[in-house]
Structure 1
Amino acid sequence: MGSRSEDVDAVTEVATEYFQAWFAGDGDRMRAVLHPALAKRTRAAPGTHSLALHEDPVETLVADTAGGEGTGFVPWQEVTVLDVVRDIATVKVHSEPFDEYLHLARFADGWLIVNALYLTAE
């Protein structure tokens, strides 16, 4: 376990790599920052009171990334680490296509994204 500053830097690096992999269309880079059991969700019907969630499994996200779905956007993101507590962290990311909250956990080989909740940016 590193210092808080080192943890914030490492978490920021993972969140940045997640978005940069998306923008670059690099599925391997995307897979490297995701836990295999990632839960990526968004509201199924934005603007309604529906509680249904749309889920994107890791393999779908990696395939969409490799297929270039993110390459048409400006490769920019604003990463804000909201909190780091020992081996877990919460991050807010704003980019051209998305507003996203990420939860990360530290594993033996480093920090990985385990949960993502997003909306299309306005």
Structure 2
Amino acid sequence: MAKPLQVVVVTPEATILEQEAEFVALPLYDGEIGIAPLHSPLIGRLGYGEMRIKTAAKTLHYYIDGGFVQVVDDVVSVLTNKAVLASKLDIAVAQAQLNSAMTKPVNTPELLAIRDRIVAQARAQIHVAKVASKA
């Protein structure tokens, strides 16, 4: 059997997680990627969504807020703006952020981009919280 992955999740504030894993699923900017031991090296741009870390004992669910992932020699390094354990997400807060963003006027391309980012983040948080609550 191949040696396990080493997963490191870092935000600007702190190292959130350093753990061995059997499998990691991450939200890329343009889809989802699964990483198992012996994965080829890569660098990818992260999107907003769920990171799943499967260990021998359980599966951890996190909300990831963009950033980058690097895979080299069975080490998965995740650099993100925010990583929150899915059980700590509040659906009501995310829904309020979504509703607020949808009511803001957008009359410039910059305001439209900001609104779209907030909407994507809120929708991803709601999705991750719902999926994790069923797991």
Give yes or no for TM over 0.5: no
Instruction: Point out which structure has higher relative CO (alpha carbons under 8 A, 6+ apart).
Output: 1
Give the TM-score, by structure 2 length.
0.28
Q: Which has the larger radius of gyration?
A: 2
